[in-house]
């Protein structure tokens, strides 16, 4: 066993495919104090010492992960409820803090989901396993966009349902599959905002198909909840949708800044999850102090501060998109905006996920290294996580960034593009 694993690990090293963790010494914020890997010393740069990096990696889109009011709420939650739940929800771990959080989440989604209830989870991965295994019985077919999050695929695989994948946004292909479906129940499953491309699912069209074919739509709003729509209600609010056929899953460790996740849906669905979802039943309830903190986070998200943070984030997104080719053109030796982009391009999206497609894996790694040498931390995402030939820098913006941070990023990208030979 050990020899076998060691060979496989060596193979990954040889292909520059070994993933490594880096240790952050400071709270989640744009300015990070980062140490190299501590898990076997396979840092790409062996000389790397702890250093200050300006990070564009986190999903803390509103900059709440280190918010003083939430730190205070966590301390208050710990004083009120202790730090551990002690048991699963169905034994004795379901505290008043969890119950109130679920009420708040249901209230927040109520414009979009009739007779809504919400169920809280320790992580989004668990929520998706719970949801798809509980609804995906032998009499159900599950249809997933090929770019959905891994947890949705794992949930579909673990479910007893027949699972199908349709090409990204391929509504016509999905329609053909739905028309051919022979099971009494059908689930269409989609990310709301796709995590590696930042584009939005065509939820109104998916819902129209669901109505035509008597299907249900599961929307994983991990990257939309808190950011999109009125009061940060997410992608359903962005599109102004309301239907009992919608099932909304959201995560609370991204824009909400804390951790955990929820499923919000018609109360009959939630009742069924509580009875039957193994990934809900057989796991210890998340710390009640976390649920208490999340209630404070939702108040921030829905209030004036949330509006300000969303507006600032929108301005940063505009500055990045508006400045990208111009930054290249203005850099020393720039030859004009159009020529300057040299095949590197931002995907067509206005969300906080702004991937810069650079092409090959080696090129993406070189680009990330060029940014790091300038003090910036932007992750390179390579196949198999993304399709071959579309390796990218996955830039994420946060309301915690300043306009100056985005200017620094643009200038560093221009240098990286030149170093990598993306410029004519």
Ligand X SMILES: *Cc1c(COP(=O)(O)O)cnc(C)c1O
Start-to-end CA distance of the chain, whole Å, equals 50
Number of chain positions touching ligand X (CB under 6 A)? 14
- List the structure tokens of 71: 């730190």
Contact between 283 and 267 under an 8 Å Cβ cutoff? The reply is: no
DSSP string, 188-232: EEEESB-TTT-PBP-HHHHHHHHHHHT-EEEEE-TTTTTTSSGGG
- Beta-bridged to residue 262, according to DSSP, are 120, 250
Q: Which of 221, 372 has the CB closer to ligand X? A: 221
Sign of CA dihedral 53, 55, 60, 61: positive
Contact between 75 and 293 under an 8 Å Cβ cutoff? The reply is: no
Contact between 61 and 396 under an 8 Å Cβ cutoff? The reply is: yes
Q: Which of 81, 125 has the CB closer to ligand X? A: 125
Residue 220 found at the interface with ligand X (CB under 6 A): yes
Q: Which of 36, 192 has the CB closer to ligand X? A: 192
* Binding test (CB under 6 A) with ligand X, winner from 151, 297, 351, 361: 151
The span from the CA of 404 to the CA of 343, in Å, is 26
Residue 222 found at the interface with ligand X (CB under 6 A): yes
Residue 207 found at the interface with ligand X (CB under 6 A): no
Residues 112 to 141: which contact ligand X by CB under 6 A?
123-125, 128
Q: Which of 195, 331 has the CB closer to ligand X? A: 195
* Binding test (CB under 6 A) with ligand X, winner from 94, 112, 117, 149: 149
Q: What is the pattern of x (binds ligand X, CB under 6 A) and - over residues 239-258?
A: ------------x-x-----
* Binding test (CB under 6 A) with ligand X, winner from 85, 195, 390, 398: 195
Q: Which of 218, 399 has the CB closer to ligand X? A: 218
Query: Nearest CA to 197 among 366, 345, 369, 1?
Result: 345
Residue 363 found at the interface with ligand X (CB under 6 A): no
Torsion of CA 55, 59, 63, 64, to 10 degrees: -140
Residue 56 found at the interface with ligand X (CB under 6 A): no
Residues 261 to 290: which contact ligand X by CB under 6 A?
261
Residue 32 found at the interface with ligand X (CB under 6 A): no
- Choose one: 95-103, 107-115, 215-223, 381-389; the region binding ligand X (CB under 6 A): 215-223
Q: Which residue is nearest to ligand X (CB)?
A: 124
Give how far the C-alpha of residue 263 lies from the chain's centroid of Cα atoms, to the nearest Å. 15
To the nearest whole angstrom, how small is the minimum distance from the Cβ of residue 85 to ligand X?
17
The span from the CA of 239 to the CA of 233, in Å, is 11
Q: List residues near ligand X by CB under 6 A.
A: 123-125, 128, 149, 151, 191, 195, 220, 222-223, 251, 253, 261
């Amino acid at each position: 066993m050990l020899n076998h694993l060691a060979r496989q690990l060596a193979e990954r090293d040889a292909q520059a495919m070994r993933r490594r963790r880096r240790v952050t010494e400071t709270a989640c914020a744009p300015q990070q104090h980062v140490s190299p890997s501590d898990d076997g010393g396979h840092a790409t740069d062996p000389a790397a010492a702890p250093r200050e990096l300006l990070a564009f990696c986190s999903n803390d889109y509103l900059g709440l992960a280190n918010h003083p009011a939430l730190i205070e709420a966590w301390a208050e939650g710990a004083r009120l409820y202790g730090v551990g739940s002690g048991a699963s929800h169905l034994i004795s771990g379901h505290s008043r803090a969890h119950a109130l959080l679920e009420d708040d989440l249901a209230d927040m989604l109520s414009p979009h989901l009739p007779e809504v209830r919400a169920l809280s989870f320790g992580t989004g991965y668990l929520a998706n396993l719970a949801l798809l295994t509980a609804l995906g019985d032998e009499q159900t077919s599950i249809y997933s966009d090929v770019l959905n999050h891994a947890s949705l695929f794992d949930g579909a695989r673990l479910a007893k349902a027949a699972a199908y994948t349709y090409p990204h946004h391929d509504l016509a292909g999905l329609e053909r599959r739905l028309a051919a479906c022979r099971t009494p129940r059908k689930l269409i499953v989609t990310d709301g905002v796709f995590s590696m491309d930042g584009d939005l699912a065509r939820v109104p069209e998916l819902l129209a198909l669901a109505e035509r074919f008597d299907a249900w739509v599961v929307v994983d709003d991990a990257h939309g909840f808190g950011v999109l729509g009125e009061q940060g209600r997410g992608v359903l609010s962005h599109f102004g949708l309301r239907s009992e056929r919608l099932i909304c899953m959201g995560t609370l460790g991204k824009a909400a800044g804390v951790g955990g996740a929820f499923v919000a849906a018609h109360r009959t669905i939630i009742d069924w999850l509580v009875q039957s979802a193994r990934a809900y039943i057989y796991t210890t309830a998340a710390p009640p102090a976390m649920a208490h903190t999340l209630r404070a986070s939702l108040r921030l998200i829905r209030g004036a501060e949330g509006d300000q943070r969303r507006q600032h984030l929108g301005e940063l997104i505009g500055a990045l998109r508006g400045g990208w080719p111009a930054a290249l053109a203005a850099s020393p030796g720039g030859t004009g905006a159009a020529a300057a982009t040299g095949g590197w391009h931002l995907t067509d999206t206005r969300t906080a996920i702004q991937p810069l497609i650079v092409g090959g894996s080696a090129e993406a790694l070189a680009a990330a290294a060029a940014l790091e040498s300038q003090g910036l931390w932007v992750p390179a995402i390579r196949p198999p996580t993304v399709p071959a030939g579309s390796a990218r820098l996955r830039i994420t913006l946060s309301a915690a960034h300043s306009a100056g941070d985005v200017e620094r990023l643009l200038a560093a990208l221009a240098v990286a593009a030149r170093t990598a030979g993306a410029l004519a």
